[in-house]
A = this chain, B = another copy of it.
């Protein structure tokens, strides 16, 4: 059991926690921050506990927080209390109910996923917006996808913003990061249909024959997918674009495809 109270702003742990808001520190430490009792409870209910649980000394008692504390201590983790002013430096929120947890990053290699475990997998290529990325995770959870595969240079899925937008799905969806040159051979080494929205010789997205395991891929927010990636797909589908613009938000396009595939997929 490791329980302690921090009273100074300059404590090394406070600096460490603050540093996790920046990508370079997250990469170096292989740790990330999740904030809020709801998110931490989602993690716990999925069997994932923070290594360090941080909260304010003056907080109100809450049964879910007490359960979390007990589990963290039982697992050998640290429970740290600090004045609300110090906690505000960590979370950016002046809220005595604020809680935060430090988690170890997950294994994000392709080897870590079992493609047969789900009918749908979401794939995002060079997705730059952490909010979109978190939303893709959340949508994946809703459609029962196995996880999200991030191709090439995406935003960091372990950023506070992406974790928050995932609404807990960061703890339920498998997460993979791989360059295309690794993903494509892996995909072709087993069963799997690769589908992307494209104007290149496409099928209507409501007529296409989706088969499991189906990998639904969306591209970068402004560039879309590279031509070679589109050509490597088994099916290219179009969605109606009736307005002046010729595109949808990438997370929206992924969700509309995912719900269509969910309804019509052949397992």
**Which residues of A come within 8 Å of B, CB atoms?**
42, 45-46, 131, 135, 138-144, 165, 167-169, 172, 206, 239-245, 247-249, 251-252, 255-256, 259-260, 262-263
Contacts and interface: CB of A to CB of B under 8 A. Distances in A.
B141 A244 contact: yes
A263 B42 CA distance: 35
Contacts of A167: 245, 247, 249
23 contacts: A42-B245, A45-B244, A46-B244, A135-B249, A135-B252, A138-B249, A139-B249, A142-B242, A142-B243, A142-B245, A142-B247, A142-B248, A143-B242, A167-B245, A167-B247, A167-B249, A168-B244, A168-B245, A169-B243, A248-B255, A252-B252, A255-B255, A259-B260
Nearest to A259: B256
A165 B142 CA distance: 24
B252 A139 contact: yes
